[in-house]
Amino acid sequence: MSIRDRIIAANDTAKEIVDIPEWGVKVEVRSMSGAARAVLVQDAANNDGKLNFTRMLPEILIGCMFDTETGERIFDGEDTELLMEKSGAVLDKIIAVAMRLSGFNEGAVDTAGKGS
């Protein structure tokens, strides 16, 4: 198998189970693909190149939270308002894991926003 084929075949999605005692559940948080991450940053960028976190954060939550038993995505775009009414501290906990697994850091977010 060629290097190209090995790279294409590799399952490189990072996953982490996050315990959310406030909700009485555990969720699986997964990393975003490169394509999903690029779309997220592009869609969240304002005209001045700065990221609009009001748009970005719900998309991270919806795109990265999965049911630990079924592997299905827990929320979809129709759940944005309901989801964002939950505790900011709890949402921050999930977002922090999703961003870490997806390779976001302060420098990556700043660079991505400027390139939009």
Tokens representing 24 are 């009485």
Domain contains 110: no
- pLDDT tops 60 at residue 109: no
Domain contains 22: yes
pTM of the model: 0.82
Domain count, the chain: 1
Query: What is the structure's pLDDT at 20?
Result: 98
Quick check: helix, strand or coil at residue 86? coil
Query: What is the structure's pLDDT at 45?
Result: 82
Are 27 and 100 within 8 A, CB to CB?
A: no
Domain contains 8: no
Q: Which pLDDT tens digit goes with each residue over 31-89?
A: 999 899 888 888 888 878 788 888 889 999 999 999 999 999 999 999 999 999 999 99
Sign of CA dihedral 35, 37, 40, 43: negative
- pLDDT tops 90 at residue 106: no
β-sheet bridge partners, residue 16? 29
Domain contains 41: no
Tokens representing 56 are 């970005």
The enclosing domain of 61 has a CATH number of 3.30.2220.20
Return phi, psi of residue 29, to 5°: -105, 130
- Domain with 19, as residue range(s), is 15-32+52-105
